[in-house]
Structure 1
Amino acid sequence: MQLSAALCLSASAFSLAVSSPALAQDDMVVLPEISVTANLTETPLTKVGSAVTVITGEELKEQKILTVADALRQVPSVAVNQGGPRGQFTQLRIRGSEGNQTKVFIDGIPVNDPARGSEFDFANLLADDVERIEVLRGPQSALYGSDAIGGVVNIVTRRGEAGTRLSGRIEAGSHGTVSGHAAISAGGENFDFLTGAAGVRTDGVSVADERLGNTEKDAYENGTFYAKGGVDVTDWLNLSGVARYTRSRTDLDTEGFLPSVGHTGPLDSNQDVKGEQLFTRAQAKVTLLEGHWEQVAGIAYTEQNRDYRDLKPTVVTGTYEGERVHLDYQSSFMFDTPGIADAAHTLTFAVQRDEDSAVSESVWSSFDRSVTSTGFVGQYQLSLFEDLSLTAGLRHDRNDIFDDATTYRLTGAYNIRPTGTKLHASYGTGVKNPTLFELYGYTNTYRGNPDLQPEEAKGFDVGVTQALWEDAASLDVTYFNQRITNLITGSGQTSTNLPGETEIDGVEVGLTVQPVEGLSVTGSYTYTEGEDSTGAELVRRPQNLASLVVNYAFLGGRANVNLSIDYNGEQKDWVWTDPFYANRQTISLDAYTLVDVAASYDLTDHAQLYGRVENLLDEEYYDVWGYGAEGVSAYAGLRLTF
């Protein structure tokens, strides 16, 4: 949240710096990769003690990925649960945490929806304009407040480049799918601007799995418009802003009782949901004392609305509106003491205020509730002898519903340069306040519990990153351990705090290899064990997750082939065992493997022909029991750039 003050501008600026090598004395100098999420200021990854993964916009283009959710399947410890085919509600779980325990930012805007249990639905986030994705894992409430027990996902979109640039894409393929994107950007010495639109429409497949006897196709539509710009008013003042609007319509299938299997599941129905998302932010950045003192002040506004409808005739059965006003100020002072341990220091203070509101109106009931919270953050970063980096952060939150909360975080990284080894570790505490729906929500099957208490977490990780084969490869192995008390869980037709401690631990392995010019291999594997205080395995958290991405560029870079393999191990899920949704049982979902292949060829310097095949093995699988997914699907398209 505090970091959001710097994300909108500095994230995109540094991502461009990372991707553009600097020339000095006719030698190519590759700048160190930067994280803008791990700390409140941009930090080289070599000095980051937390576990963080970076996905670049170039990698997204190589794989021809349409949505951000598809890319996140490749991140260690990230489990993606999509409730059906394209466009259906998509959750993210990091290191065994719940879906609403991950904080999500887009261009510095916190986008967790107050009217959707403080979760962000990744179903409608298209990837065309994404420049960079960072996933920070482990408890991060000391920097980001509530919702950050599992970690943080920070998405940074492209900014305007020097000159004038026009780009576009059109593609079509299986299931009557058509998608496209167009953008125009401009930039100069003192300004940058970019605006564009992206969209997708598909006839789809049945949301309720065809293996359960459902045959009706369920369509999906998404239209997204965005603009982003900044101007240097003086050599010390920069003003910038960003706006993003998405409108979607998604066919739904209803949940019902299936006597054939003895529990609930989806069935074909004439229902849909129409949604709108508006994300905006404006900020001012002041840089003084020759760059040693940076101050950023910003305001962000988000509005997310959903109308659930019965069709033929069309009747709105439920409306949900989530709104957030976010204010922040951050001040960072950087200085060096070369005569004392060759040290570099960064002192940061930040304050942030959120006003969240949720409105629900349905045939069963309605509620209109809001909550205001204010957080104060202090952080100190210390670098010694260029090889040892330490960070300490402390946060105090005031909330008008719950007691004040104090959280903290410690990280360390030590580089052993002769052997190419980096040792890293972090420890943090976290808090997750009950959502407005958990407190006050009401449906035909749910009653809110106003007596719920905040969830509390503590966790650590420790690992080693080792460079191999003269820096042609890098291997990282990290052990993580997390404990959550007061875990909020469903109980009958309401929610309760689970007594005792929920335990989650596991191992993450990441590998990158560039054996020859033009060929890159990236792989990850995660083993996770998660049990609540009763000893029950946590649902929708597979023990085994793995990913492999192989990319090969040839013919002087004009041609590119990409293979991606994502493995999701066996996992548990809940189903209700009676038509009144009073009792549930745990079932097992089979493991599955998704294989995608993409290829492209540059016809000219301005035109690229590409194609991709998704789910090449025609895997039938469930992320959520009973909700189907597309089988093998093929798409082809043309990309133009001027």
Structure 2
Amino acid sequence: MNHVRTRQHRHPWRLSAIGMALATANAFAQAPAGESAATANTLSAVVVTASGNEQELREAPASVSVITREDIERRPVQELAELLGTVEGVTLNRSGNLVPGVQLRGLGSAYTLMLIDGKRVNATSAMFRGNDYDTGWVATDDIERIEIVRGPMSSLYGSDAIGGVVNIITRPISKQWRGSARIETTVQQDKNAGDSQLAGFSLSGPIKTDVLGVKLNGAYVHRDADGAVNSLPAGGTRQTGLQNIRNRMFGAQLALTPDSRQSITADVDTSRRDHSGFLMERDALSLQHKGRWGFGNTELTFAADEIRNLTGMISGQVNPNKANTTSLAGKASIPVAWGNQFVTAGFDIREEKLYDPTNLRGQPGTAGYDASTETAISQWALFAEDEIRITDRLAVTLGNRFDHHENFGGHNSPRAYAVYQLNDAVTLKGGVARAFRAPTLLQGSPNWGSVSCGSATVGCYIVGSRDIQPETSTSQELGLQFAQGIHSGGLMFFNTDLKNMIDITNRTADRTLATGYSNFVGYLPDGRPIFRYQNIASVRSRGLEASWNARVSPQWNLRSNYTYTDAQNTSGSVAIPLTYRPKHVLNLGADWNPTAQVSVSGNLRYHSAQYISVSSNGQSRVEKDGYAIADLTVGWRMTDALTLRAGILNLTGKTFDRTTSADFNEEGRRYYLALHAKF
């Protein structure tokens, strides 16, 4: 065993926080159901991602968090993943130092479905590894809010939503002309670390009042690569720091409202993202019709995108590919007087294609090599959801989605959820859901293969396989939300059992040891071992999420959330912890508005120790110590149109050396300055 820590840490603050949350919730549960303006304001926020229709947050049949536009404006946000990491239940997978993948409830980023206005984005086929692209296709100035649904949502959204959904909702076209723009710069105290800049804008308004409107938005983001931020070990190799990033994006929307019942929107977006020399371009278009009729509401959406990987996935090589996705989705939401129900039903048809002349050539040395450089799959789905209002305080949501995959047949994803308003202050929530995830276009294709094991010439080779099975999960959650007077928050327990997790971690460049691996396929003509994707029998992730916020006064607001996650590979006789999953994550924040023109915000995030490397048998483990990072930002509204913001990020200058390729750097102390304009 190379490096194992068995030390256990006591966290009295954690136990106290949980005890206080339970005690407070119990007190609210006993409180009379009286009027409370603060309660109404907190729980009446409307969300659209957790079910088939708009609902108030307290009634949503899921665990939902919302990042508001104010949250985005209050701090520098060049990569949305960093902001998502401040939400309970969300952790970031920082593998290889360069990739901030979004994990929900301990499940990897592959199980987080990313949406933009309800339309999925997925760059996995074009960049199957190192894929941190899908959180950044939208200019931050055009974001109205972000809804994070934690827990499986496959009954509505299908494959990839086992962990949950992140829905980036853009700003609607204004009935009057309005715009915003921002420029930001962040300067590192360490001259070896990379500085960053951002410029962005959003503009919208009517061409013909109440009939035709237009919206334009764009942004440019640049971060210099780090230099020698990590020390040079004796006789070793200096690890690189954070990468060079250059992103640019532009979007346009045209909205037509022919009458009071209908709206038609057309969107066109183009983006180019350069992450340390790996270039990705995305062009997308969509056409959506929404109707509000006497019997209910309808929605029909056509969407298509093309993602071009201009570089490939292997350092030092240029192997471009191209992925195309086309989808047609529709749904109808209808209130049913009998039984006080609200029924949503719909369909989803999707086709994915990949052109990859380097990796889609079949297995080298076989008769079928170079026979085709393209692959495609199609799938369709039918779904239905019924919200049954049993009493004024109790609602039950039942739903199911049937997905039919071209290669893996049909699968059902049922869900049952109950929401009970104990009183005006406390809402109890709980449910159970089944979900499935089909192998990606690459994982299920035997003609796809790529070099691996750290070298393009003497490493190993990995291939897709028709033998792998779709992943399935069963999840449960139970908890509460509360809002009473100045206080609001929640407590939620969750458990997810994942079966047949698709994996490729079992591989080695050692030609002698290779035959002992269960997913060993054979050898290339040059002797490199070949391994196929395989299923891991079972993975379990369980834990709890807690949050508490207090509007202490008109000037002061306190924010906090805590997440405990225990994620393990439970396939063998001994459970093995998953990497990049800190068991304890704590976020604390305070907002102070001493005057109408001045705002001050402080934030603290704490991550406990986490494993950054665990061998397949669990015997060799590398652990990274826990750490805390504090930020301070100040805003000054100089005029109604101009706001100046400044801050110090990582106040204490907490840094640590990245000593292995599996480790990651946190940025050191840096200074932030931004100018926001609204007009």
Q: TM-score w.r.t. structure 2 length? A: 0.79
What is the letter of the counterpart of residue 105 of structure 2? R
Distance 1:586 1:127, change over 3 A: farther
CA offsets 1:69-101 (integer angstroms, 9 cap, x no match): 12111111111124577xx43311111112211
What is the letter of the counterpart of residue 418 of structure 2? G
Aligned mate of 1:451, from 447, 467, 484: 467
Q: Given the alignment of the two structures, is residue 345 of structure 1 paired with residue 341 of structure 2, yes or no?
A: yes
Q: Given the alignment of the two structures, is residue 567 of structure 1 paired with residue 606 of structure 2, yes or no?
A: yes
Distance 1:439 1:590, change over 3 A: farther
Distance in 1 between the 2:674 and 2:64 partners?
33
Contact 1:611–1:636 (Cα < 8 Å) also in 2: yes
Contact 2:246–2:275 (Cα < 8 Å) also in 1: yes
Distance in 2 between the 1:624 and 1:331 partners?
49
Q: Given the alignment of the two structures, is residue 485 of structure 1 paired with residue 499 of structure 2, yes or no?
A: yes
Q: Given the alignment of the two structures, is residue 74 of structure 1 paired with residue 90 of structure 2, yes or no?
A: no
Distance in 2 between the 1:185 and 1:307 partners?
32
1:44 counterpart residue number: 56
Aligned mate of 1:544, from 580, 584, 591: 584
Distance in 1 between the 2:655 and 2:309 partners?
30
1:16 counterpart residue number: none
Q: Given the alignment of the two structures, is residue 273 of structure 1 paired with residue 278 of structure 2, yes or no?
A: yes
Q: Shift of residue 500 of structure 1? A: 3.5
CA offsets 1:31-53 (integer angstroms, 9 cap, x no match): 92111011011111121231111
Q: Shift of residue 347 of structure 1? A: 1.0
Q: Shift of residue 613 of structure 1? A: 2.3
Give 1 or 2 for the bigger CA radius of gyration: 2
SS of alignment partner, residue 160 of structure 1: coil
SS of alignment partner, residue 110 of structure 2: helix
Distance in 2 between the 1:65 and 1:54 partners?
16
SS of alignment partner, residue 303 of structure 1: strand
Distance in 2 between the 1:365 and 1:237 partners?
48
Aligned mate of 1:200, from 211, 217, 221: 221
Distance 1:562 1:382, change over 3 A: same
Contact 1:78–1:93 (Cα < 8 Å) also in 2: yes
Distance in 2 between the 1:572 and 1:466 partners?
34
Distance 1:624 1:107, change over 3 A: farther
Contact 1:109–1:280 (Cα < 8 Å) also in 2: no
Aligned mate of 1:474, from 481, 484, 488: 488
Aligned mate of 1:421, from 426, 451, 455: 426
Contact 2:312–2:320 (Cα < 8 Å) also in 1: no
Give 1 or 2: higher strand fraction.
1
What is the letter of the counterpart of residue 564 of structure 1? N
Aligned mate of 1:553, from 593, 612, 618: 593
SS of alignment partner, residue 417 of structure 1: coil
SS of alignment partner, residue 59 of structure 1: helix
- Tell me how large the CA RMSD over aligned residues is: 3.0
User: How many residues get paired?
Assistant: 577
Contact 1:62–1:551 (Cα < 8 Å) also in 2: no
- Trace 1:26-425 onto structure 2 (pairs within 5 A): 30=41, 32-83=44-95, 88-115=98-125, 116-117=127-128, 121-122=133-134, 124-125=136-137, 126-174=139-187, 175-187=194-206, 188-206=209-227, 209=230, 213-214=238-239, 218-251=243-276, 272-289=277-294, 292-308=295-311, 316-336=317-337, 344-362=340-358, 367-417=373-423, 420-425=425-430
Distance in 1 between the 2:426 and 2:408 partners?
44
SS of alignment partner, residue 443 of structure 2: helix
Q: Given the alignment of the two structures, is residue 607 of structure 1 paired with residue 642 of structure 2, yes or no?
A: yes
Distance in 1 between the 2:440 and 2:179 partners?
43
Unaligned runs of 5+ residues in structure 1 are 1-27, 252-271, 338-342
SS of alignment partner, residue 224 of structure 1: strand
Distance 1:190 1:624, change over 3 A: farther
Distance in 2 between the 1:379 and 1:216 partners?
47
SS of alignment partner, residue 73 of structure 2: helix
Distance in 2 between the 1:625 and 1:209 partners?
14
1:19 counterpart residue number: none
Q: Shift of residue 221 of structure 1? A: 1.0
Distance in 2 between the 1:310 and 1:122 partners?
16
CA offsets 1:87-124 (integer angstroms, 9 cap, x no match): x4331111111221111101222002241449763463
Q: Report the identity percentage.
A: 22
Contact 1:107–1:242 (Cα < 8 Å) also in 2: no
2:24 counterpart residue number: none
Contact 2:114–2:135 (Cα < 8 Å) also in 1: no
Q: Shift of residue 604 of structure 1? A: 1.1
Contact 2:204–2:216 (Cα < 8 Å) also in 1: yes
Q: TM-score w.r.t. structure 1 length? A: 0.83
Q: Shift of residue 599 of structure 1? A: 1.1
1:254 counterpart residue number: none
Q: Shift of residue 624 of structure 1? A: 7.3
Distance in 2 between the 1:570 and 1:82 partners?
14
